[in-house]
Amino acid sequence: MKPCEINEEGKPSCTQIEDLEKILAEMPNEEEMQKNADIIKALADPTRLKIIYLLKNGELCVCEIMAALEKPQPTVSHHLNILKNARLLKWRKEGVWIHYKLSNPKLPDSLKQLVENP
């Protein structure tokens, strides 16, 4: 770890500022950061994580998700809408029921890797 080099004005050195500017240039823009934050917020709920893991093996009907979670339809629909708005789910309507699947089938494995290796 390199030491912080503060000049007489109380600011980082020119070299440190250049290094910071390089880091900032590689970061996603504000819009991308907001999308990323929205995705992380959508995943930051145990019920929604359960839904992600339930969908690991493919498409499920809302009725199946309700049964697996033992939660009422309005609660399940609320969580599904949050995941859908974060673009984590794809859906299709069949009769009166909606069927959901993961937008990215690798998501559960990515989550597992993230929490096992923080």
Q: What is the pTM of this model?
A: 0.79
Given this model, what pLDDT does residue 105 score? 94
Given this model, what pLDDT does residue 1 score? 55
Given this model, what pLDDT does residue 2 score? 66
Given this model, what pLDDT does residue 19 score? 86
Given this model, what pLDDT does residue 13 score? 79
Given this model, what pLDDT does residue 9 score? 79
Instruction: Give the right CATH number for 14-116 from 1.10.760.10, 3.30.2400.10, 1.10.10.10, 3.40.47.10.
Output: 1.10.10.10
Given this model, what pLDDT does residue 48 score? 97
Write the CA distances from 65 to 3, 40, 48, integer angstroms. Answer: 53, 21, 11
Given this model, what pLDDT does residue 27 score? 92
Given this model, what pLDDT does residue 40 score? 93
Which residue numbers in the chain have pLDDT < 50? none
Given this model, what pLDDT does residue 66 score? 97
